[in-house]
Amino acid sequence: MSTRWAIRADRAFDGRGFVRGGLTVVVETDRIVGVEPGMCVLPPDVPLTEVDGTLLPGLVDCHVHLVAAGTFPGSPGSLEWAGAAGASALDDVITTNLRAQVAAGVTTVRDLGDVDFRVLGHRGRKGEGLPRVVAAGPPLTIPAGHCHYLGGVVDPDEPGSLERAVAERVERGVDVVKVMASGGFLTPGSDQLGAQFELAPLRRLVDLVHAAGLRIVAHTHSVPGAEVAVAAGADGLEHFTCLAQGGAAAPTELLERVAAAGMTVDPTLGNDPSRFPPVSDMPPHILEMLARLGITDRDEHFARAARNTLRLREHGIRVVSGLDAGANPAKPHGLLWKSVAELVRGGWPVDEAVATATSAAADDCGVEAGRLEAGHLADLLVVDGDLSTDVTALGRPSAVWLGGVEVMSARPHPG
């Protein structure tokens, strides 16, 4: 008896573009073994599921914090909470967040803000219907630097500090390494407008990570932080907000260097504005930074950030989507579709925007997914509506398969 089955939809996105006339995707165990146009004829022993909506690969969220979410952990101070939480509490939060992600059609997450390497123990939970996890462990930062409370502190002035940190990550089996090249809004006292590392130690860190066969991505909110990360040879830039006194914009010369180096940029766009705290409740250090940047209208700031991503596209820079889920109340887990929608709001074509959360994201995470293509993992998603004309359909998942296993039931095609 055949172990193959097939799914057919009149509307489809194959990871790179929309397919007219729909697709029939054939699956065996955890892999796609065939992709045929439209109403192809299948062998009688291959069960077929016909679905409404748009069929596409499962989403890949390139920037999450699984140790932070929920009513309290997802509020300001959530990552500090994680730094002091016990193992059992962390495991509960991680599991809850993974469930929220897969319910939103996300089949792979890249965790870039762990504590005590706790997230690494949650890889390989596909049998429970939970997304696969690409994990970095605690991000590397300087003493008292951004997210120092997660335990990834290195001292560039202490002999052997960088070497020991990389060796520990290799021994633990991380999939990628993250370094805080600039300060961050969530850490009072860190310099959001400067660089946390000088070039020589950051280049040494990059060389050590590359020698171990791993990639390294850099948290960069500031222009100086981005510049030193590019010069040091990092593989990717997270946020790439390019903050400077009076505003946020990437210098053209910096964009040219990022493009020439073949780096990936994850702008970490998207949020739920209804979950932002009132301005009166925001911490003083954040209010001070907003004043230094000249940001007086939050909505206009986010709209400008979305428009700024067009410059990445114009320079041919590879862009992937990640929400920064769990970092603050407005970025709950399972809201990745908002990152894609922000690109569209900024002027991106829908197909290119969706690719940043499917094929481009899977490639950047080193996962054989993100495409409706033979040989790739059968991570499949059906969303309600015509995604080619309505990007918000990405926020309405109706069926999810993870490695060929259904984890959210499909509604049958009414025909």
Nearest C-alpha neighbor of 365 from the set 25, 29, 64: 64
Task: Give the largest Cα separation in the chain, rounded.
Answer: 69
Q: Say yes or no: 341 and 379 in one domain.
A: no
**In terms of DSSP H, where are the helices of 252-349?**
252-261, 284-293, 298-314, 336-345
Nearest C-alpha neighbor of 272 from the set 209, 362, 189, 333: 333
Rg (CA), the chain: 21
Asked whether residue 18 is domain-assigned, the answer is: yes
pLDDT at 3: 85
pLDDT in tens, 368-404: 999 999 999 999 999 999 999 999 999 999 999 999 9
Rounded CA gap, 356 and 62, in Å?
10
Range of the domain at 378: 4-57+369-408
Helix (H) or strand (E) holding 4: strand 4-13
pLDDT at 74: 47
Helix (H) or strand (E) holding 207: helix 199-211
From the centroid of its chain, how far is CA 130? 16
Burial class, 353, CB count within 10 angstroms (exposed 0-12 / middle 13-18 / buried 19+): buried
Residue 194: C-alpha distances to residues 143, 146, 198, 358 (Å): 15, 12, 10, 33
Asked whether residue 357 is domain-assigned, the answer is: yes
Q: Say yes or no: 259 and 402 in one domain.
A: no
pLDDT at 96: 95
DSSP single-letter state for residue 379? -
DSSP single-letter state for residue 16? S
- Most confident segment among 76-80, 297-301, 360-364: 360-364
- pLDDT band at residue 362 using 50, 70 and 90 as cut-offs: very high
Q: Say yes or no: 208 and 333 in one domain.
A: yes
DSSP single-letter state for residue 139? P
Q: What is the mean pLDDT of residues 350-379?
A: 98
Helix (H, G, I), strand (E, B) or coil at 171: helix
Domain at 314, CATH number: 3.20.20.140
pLDDT at 293: 66
Q: Say yes or no: 104 and 127 in one domain.
A: yes
User: Which amino acid is present at 141?
Assistant: T
Asked whether residue 12 is domain-assigned, the answer is: yes
- The average confidence (pLDDT) of the chain is 91
pLDDT in tens, 95-146: 999 999 999 999 999 999 999 999 999 999 999 999 999 999 999 999 999 9
- pLDDT band at residue 297 using 50, 70 and 90 as cut-offs: low
Q: How many domains does the chain have?
A: 2
**In terms of DSSP H, where are the helices of 87-152?**
87-103
pLDDT in tens, 245-254: 767 789 999 9
- Decide the pairing of beta strands 23-28 and 4-13: antiparallel
Q: Say yes or no: 20 and 94 in one domain.
A: no
β-bridge mates for residue 109, sequence order: 61, 133
pLDDT at 415: 40
Q: Say yes or no: 143 and 289 in one domain.
A: yes
pLDDT at 376: 98
Q: Side by side, which strands form the sheet with 59-64?
A: 59-64, 106-111, 132-135
Whether residue 414 is predicted with pLDDT greater than 50 in this model: the reply is no
pLDDT at 196: 96
Q: For 320-388, list the strands marked E by DSSP.
A: 380-383
pLDDT at 413: 47
Rounded CA gap, 316 and 311, in Å?
9
What share of the chain has pLDDT > 70, as a percent? 90
Whether residue 410 is predicted with pLDDT greater than 70 in this model: the reply is no
pLDDT at 259: 98
pLDDT at 210: 98
Q: Say yes or no: 29 and 127 in one domain.
A: no
pLDDT at 274: 85
Helix (H) or strand (E) holding 408: strand 405-408
N- to C-terminal Cα separation, the chain: 27
For the ranges 152-161, 219-228, 247-256, the lowest mean pLDDT is seen at 247-256
Burial class, 315, CB count within 10 angstroms (exposed 0-12 / middle 13-18 / buried 19+): middle
**pTM of this structure:** 0.94
Asked whether residue 315 is domain-assigned, the answer is: yes
User: Which amino acid is present at 393?
Assistant: A
Q: Phi/psi of residue 393, each to 5°?
A: -60, -25
Q: What is the mean pLDDT of residues 242-267?
A: 91
Q: Say yes or no: 264 and 389 in one domain.
A: no
Instruction: Look at 190 and 397; give whichever has higher pLDDT.
Output: 397
Q: Say yes or no: 310 and 196 in one domain.
A: yes
Nearest C-alpha neighbor of 239 from the set 149, 106, 136, 339: 339
Whether residue 324 is predicted with pLDDT greater than 70 in this model: the reply is yes
Whether residue 69 is predicted with pLDDT greater than 70 in this model: the reply is no
Q: Say yes or no: 194 and 221 in one domain.
A: yes
